[in-house]
Structures are given as C-alpha cells and as structure tokens.
A and B are shown apart, each in its own frame.
Chain A
Amino acid sequence: MSILKIDEPGRSVLLMGNEAIARGAIEAGVDFCAAYPGTPSSEILESLARVAQDLGLYAEWSTNEMVSLEAAAAASLSGLRAIVAMKQNGLNVCSDFLMTVNLTGTRGGFVLVACDDPTATSSTNEQDSRNFARFADMPLLEPATFQEAKDMTKWAFELSERLRLPCMIRSVSRLSHGRGNVKLGEIPKMRRMARFEGAYVSAMFVPMLHSALHQKLEEAQKEFEESEFNWYVGPEKATLIIITSGSGWFYSREAVKTLGLEDEVGILKLGTTWPLPERFIVHHLKHTPQVLIVEEIDPFLEQNIKVLLAEEAKSLGAIDVYGAKSGHLPSVGSINQDKVAGALASIKGLEYRPRDEEYARRAMELALSYLPPRMLTFCAGCPHRASLWAIKAALKLDGRNGFVTGDIGCYSLGVGPGGYWQLKTLHCMGAGLGLATGFGQLKQFAFDQPVIAVAGDSTFFHACIPALINARFNNSNVLLVVLDNGGTAMTGFQPHPGSGTDALGRPAPVVEIEEVCQAIGVEVWVRDPFDLDESIEDLYEMLQRDGVKVMVFRRRCSLIEAREKERQKVFVRPEKCIGDDCGCARFCSRVFNCPGIIWDAEAGKAKIDEVVCTGCGVCVALCPQGAIVVEGG
C-alpha cells in the first residue's frame, strides 16, 4: 500500500520531501493535481497519481507546465483545491499565465510547487524560483524539514483560499529528493463539488486588480508575522544571528553545534519568505550587531533583508550583514554544513577544520590523480547511443560540417563522450528545433552546413510543435530527429500524449508524432535506430534534400524493456574475437563505448559485463568478426 494513503494520524513514517509535499496536499483535501515531469519535482505528481483513484482525486501529466497551471487554475476557479508542481524551468514556461492569474485571483486553494536544482545536477540552469514569487506578487513558503514540507503544503491551501491568490512553495533538490521522518495527519473524507460561478475572472482594469493584489500581499504579510513556520533558537542576546530558510536550517544548526557556538549565535529560521515577516524579523534583530544570511542559490533573503534593515536603520542601528555579497557564502551551487561552518568561523575569527589537514590533503589527492573519473553516459542498451551514432555517421558521410542542436532529456548527454560529442547546443525545452529553424534560414548568408535538431518524444509534445510549424511556414532547411523511446525517460518514464497510458496507468488515446508532423505538412520517416545501416543511409538521404524533414527514431527505453522482459544473455565468442589483431581498434568497447562491453586485458578480447548489459543486442551487428552473439538468437 502506498504510504501516502495511510490514515493513521500521529504515525511517523519515512517520506521523500516530494512525497511529504504530496501528503500535505492530500491532508488539505486536494482535488485536482497537474504537472509536467522535471527533476527534482516529478515525484510529487507521481505520488498523487498513485493514490488518485482510491482517494477520488484527479491527477494528470500535462503536456507542459503552462497547460498544467491553466488546467489547475480552472479547478481552483470552480472552487476545488488544486496543486501544480514543476522544476524551476517550468516557471518560465508557465509565467505568461502566472503573471495574469495572480491579478484575476483564484477561488479554491491553489498551490504552485517549484523545485529548484542548486548545482544544476539535472538541469541546464540554476534559476532561483523565489524571484518569481516576488515578481508575481505571490506569497512564498520555503519548507526546511520533511515535516514542514507536508505541514506547509497543507497550510498553503488554506492561505491561498483566504487570499484568493495562488501560493508558491519553493523546495530544493536536497529536500525534494531527501527522505526523513514525517508524522502523519488526518486525511479528510469530504469531497468538494465543482462549479464555475460566472464570476468576473479577466485581467482587465489592470491597475485596479494590481492594487487589489498588493492588498492581498499585505494580508499575507500580516499572517506571516504570526506564522508557526518562523522561529528563533538561540540566546536572548546573540552576538550573531543567522537568518536562514529552506535547506539552510539544518546546515546552520549543525554548523553552530560543530563550532560550539550555541551560547552566542542564534538562528532565525524563516518559512514565509515573501513578503517577509518584517516585524518578526526586526523584533529578533534588536540586540545583535551581526547577521549571517544562509540560503541556497540567489541572495534573495539577503537583498530583501538589507532593504528592511535600511528602512529600520534608525531603530536597529548599524548591523553588519554577511552572506553572498560579503563573499562568505556562494550564490551559485548547493550549500552544506561545511560552507556554513566555514563562513561562521571566518566571521568569528575561528578555524573550522573538519578533519586533519594532512589526511584531507592525502585523501583528496587520491581522488584527483588516482581514481578514474566516471562520466555520465547512456545506459547499456540505450537507443540514444545508436541514434547518435547514426547521426554522427550520416553527418560524416555528408561532409559539409553539419551539426546537431540539442534539447532536454536523456539525450542531452550527447554533449559528452557517451553521445560522441554530437550535440553542439543545449538550452531549454524546445530550443533545439527553434535554433535549428534559424540556422536553416541562413542560406542567403552563405551558410551551407546542414543542421539536425534532436528532441525526445515528450519534448516534441511539450515544446516543438510551434517551432515545427514555424519551420514549415517559413520554409526552413532543417532535419528534426525525434528520439522516441516511449515516455519521459529522463525523469522516470512518465507517460505523455504518445504513450497510450495516462498518469494513473489507464489506457489513453495516442497522439502519434508522425500524424502531427503530417498534419503540419512535413515529410516524416520512422526507423528503428538499431537498424544502424538503414538509419545512417536514410538520414544521409534526408540531409541531401531542402525543406523541413522529420525522422522518428523509435525504440523503447532499455530500462523499461529490461523491467518488462526477460533479459537476453549476450556474450562474446572467445574463438571468434581476435582482439587487437582484428584491426577494429576494439570498436565495440572503445569506440561504440557501451558500458556493457568491457575489455578483458588478460585474454586480450572483448567481454560482456553481465552486471551492466541489458541484453539489447545492438552490438551484435557492429562486430566485424560476428563474435558477439545473443544466446539462442
């Protein structure tokens, strides 16, 4: 049974941050849930979808974040409680609607969860979503603990409903993808009825609505002054106060403890960070000469607090503020206990040495000089490896210095060695095709390089269709290669309009990629990238023709295949592999570079690593000696 359905108030369970957010929504009696997958946010909707049928909720994977926000807003306008979750980049996609629905206001509790990815482990930027809350005049909550992730989400629905305004929750990857203890609350049994009351919900008479929005924010601020999510721990007269939010809370508390500064350093932990609970903050800063701001990514709190301190200069006097601007903490990447302890120690004139320096030097040197790096690569059996191999070969055959514009998905790894360095650009969802349509218009400027845009199947539906129409309308020279592996693989294989199932796993109508292309009026071919020779030849042929062309490389994600099917055993026949005498230059392991094919140095022959191999068998066709075979095949 899913943990999210457990109806035992008071029971302590282990929840992932994203599950805690989902559980908070369930305890608030959420009715409508929508999202487009994106790391680190995907598990929120996944968790909700898993219990949707039993709890009577509606949950959908929308084609993109804009649609998810609009769909969820409709539910809110009908009096239902609605949640929408996305990664930081998703906010950009839905911002047009966001910047008007804030003005018109909403009805049922409406919560937008944005999950940021400090260090951009799985992103192409490090954008700090909190700026959007201020930009859109939206109340902003930042959970610091797994328990708060649940409790705050529940409270955000109530707040949104009182203010008739969307509320934003900002999480970060360490919270969203961490797991910790959460004490469960009650699951309400009541279900709401939806009805649109014909109220006036248009962004007209904007200055009037804008002024009303500012009033709502003032009301939010009043509530924030009393919020249980803001607290202070530490001595009454601290020599320094750390002001922190979100992930900074645990790091700050541990840093103070590590340095043994509990008696002189206090921590002001803020859960409601826009608008700031100004009176609450000023009250706690009355006796401190120094403040250190601890937050992840932008100096968002830092700048807002500096404005507040300037306003309160008369009553508070001069307070030294340390943080990103002072160089004590970074405004890029993740933070951790070491960074906070280092900053605190430096301000206090102490030394922070996590371990013996000589030991640390020796250990780190080992990591840098002795250990082989582990570059990310496509999984064994991944169809993208074959697709990018075919693209590389076709561009080489073509010989005009053609190149590939990249997009967002597993295949983004094509910027590196696993995809033979084929992707030359990488930005955001849909940018690959958009850029390619531009490159494809440069003929009159003596541009003669062919350009291939790659996009995954989910990316195709999310962001490529307007660019494809543009390419057709303006007659660009572009080849779009859709890498169709049957789902949104990068984020955990969530279904999309082409998958044939919906968020709850029920059968759903299929929108065929090739039919969409045909309707737009562009030529479309479909190939299996594992038929390497045919794929290379056909790509080459398409590159020779002007206009808009689409190649769909279709083959299911090998992880899903491996999960659903019995794994085939692939092995190298030692009598047939002649090793370095072959002249293939260890093509299978060294050049094709699938991690499932290793080199047995002792025997001087290739070997299949059964721990890694998924049994896809694409390498069978690549070996010039025919030494690789599938058992029984």
Chain B
Amino acid sequence: MALEKDPLNLIITGVGGQGNVLASQVVAWAAIREGLYVTVGETYGASQRGGAVMSHLRLSAESQYSAWIPEGQADIVVGLEPVEALRVIAEFGNPKTRVIVNPRPIYPIGVLSGEAKYPPVEEILGKLGELVDRVEVVEATEAGETVLVANMVMVGALAGSGLVPITIASFEEAIAEIIAPKDLQSNLQAFKKGMEAITKG
C-alpha cells in the first residue's frame, strides 16, 4: 500500500494520566495490522506526574522512521487537552495540519496557584484554527461511560475521521489485543462514540 503522504506524522498529546501512551499503542498496533512501518516515540519521564506528554507516531509504507517528528511536520494532531494541542501545534504544526481536540481543560498547578492564567477554551480553539487547516472538537471527556476512556473516544474520532489509512476493523482488533478484558467493553463503546462524533474527510 502506498500512502498519500509518506511518512504520515501523527502526534497524540495530553497530560500525564489521560492515557496518551495507550491511545498511541492502539493506533500503532492497528497500523501494523495494515502492514505499515510504524514508529512511536514517547515522552515517558513526565507521563504520570501531571506533565505535558506527547506520542509521536510515524506511519510509512516504505521504511522505519525515527521516533521524533521534525519541526512543523505533524500532519495530524490529536489533543486530549486543548492547551497541550496548541503547544504541540506551536512546535510541530503547519498550515496543512489537521487537529482533533478534546476541549476539556486540565489545569496546571501554576494556574491553580495563581501564577499563570489558563486562556478561555474558545480562544484556544480560535488560535488553533488560525494556525492549522481544520480543527474538529470532540467532547471526549463527557462521551464515554467514565472519564477514564476519553482517550479511546479520541482514538475513535481519529479512526472515524478517515485521516489515517487504517480500517475500523484493524482499530477494533488492536483495542481487543491491548486492553484488559474487564475494560474492553467500555473502551470499545468509547471508540464507537468517538467515531460517531466526527465528520469524515
């Protein structure tokens, strides 16, 4: 299979604890099922301590790429949190980038202590819109059975958007392979909710 853009660069970003790593693993496993080369780069140190996290995914039909996307080369950004989506666009975005974002803020401790200001979400979305080709908003935190599956809602939205060359079946098989059986139903349901919440193309 040839890709329209090779390598296809995808960044999933959010805050430690939101399930960034799991979301990136699902996409990567699904891509492997499509016979693609996949590289995933993670920022681990901060992953569970309230820090900003991102997973860089690079899909290619030709060869393996490094685990770090060059400046401005993100084709798709999936933001589990709005400020983090904009932060990623600042470094990796370009006018053609497509963004799918969960608008639910998670406040940094500097904002809670009053040292920093969290901009209004509408304003953040506006700035995103100025910088990229298209922004799709998915209310992922509210869509799932629990707040814990917001990451899978976003994966569903990515799958439903048709922006990645991966079939829904491959996504669902990857979820079944990775998620523990007791959480499988709620995750699959969240995935479906995400698919329904997005417009294709």
Contacts and interface: CB of A to CB of B under 8 A. Distances in A.
Nearest to A363: B90
B116 A372 contact: yes
B78 interface: no
Given A363-B91, A379-B50, A374 B108 contact: yes
Contacts of A58: none
Interface stretch (A24-32, A316-324, A594-602): A594-602
Contacts of B49: 376-379, 410, 413
Contacts of A147: 64
Interface string B36-57: 0111111111101111100000
A178 B67 contact: yes
Contact of A354 (B72, B90, B116): B72
A376 B147 contact: no
Interface in A364-407: 364, 366-367, 370-379
B89 A376 contact: no
Interface string A325-358: 0000000001011100100000000000011100
A611 B141 contact: yes
Given A336-B68, A354-B73, A379-B49, A609 B108 contact: no
A180 B72 contact: no
A609 B106 contact: yes
A354 B70 contact: yes
Contacts of B181: none
A371 B39 contact: no
B108 A373 contact: yes
Interface residues of A, number: 66
B112 A599 contact: yes
Given A146-B64, A354-B71, A372-B117, A612 B40 contact: no
Interface string B100-132: 000010111111111011110000000100010
A595 B71 contact: no
A174 B67 contact: yes
Contacts of A177: 41-42, 44
B102 to A, nearest CB: 10
A338 B17 contact: no
Contacts of B65: 250, 254
A595 B109 contact: yes
Interface stretch (B24-32, B160-168, B185-193): B24-32
Nearest to B123: A370
B170 interface: no
Contact of A179 (B39, B72, B84, B86): B39
26 contacts: A14-B29, A121-B46, A122-B45, A174-B66, A174-B67, A174-B68, A178-B42, A178-B67, A179-B25, A179-B38, A250-B39, A254-B70, A258-B70, A337-B66, A354-B70, A355-B72, A359-B131, A367-B87, A370-B86, A370-B119, A372-B83, A372-B116, A372-B117, A378-B49, A410-B49, A418-B109
Given A146-B39, A356-B95, 16 more contacts: A12-B32, A174-B66, A177-B42, A178-B40, A180-B37, A180-B39, A258-B70, A337-B68, A359-B72, A360-B72, A370-B119, A595-B112, A598-B107, A598-B112, A609-B107, A611-B106
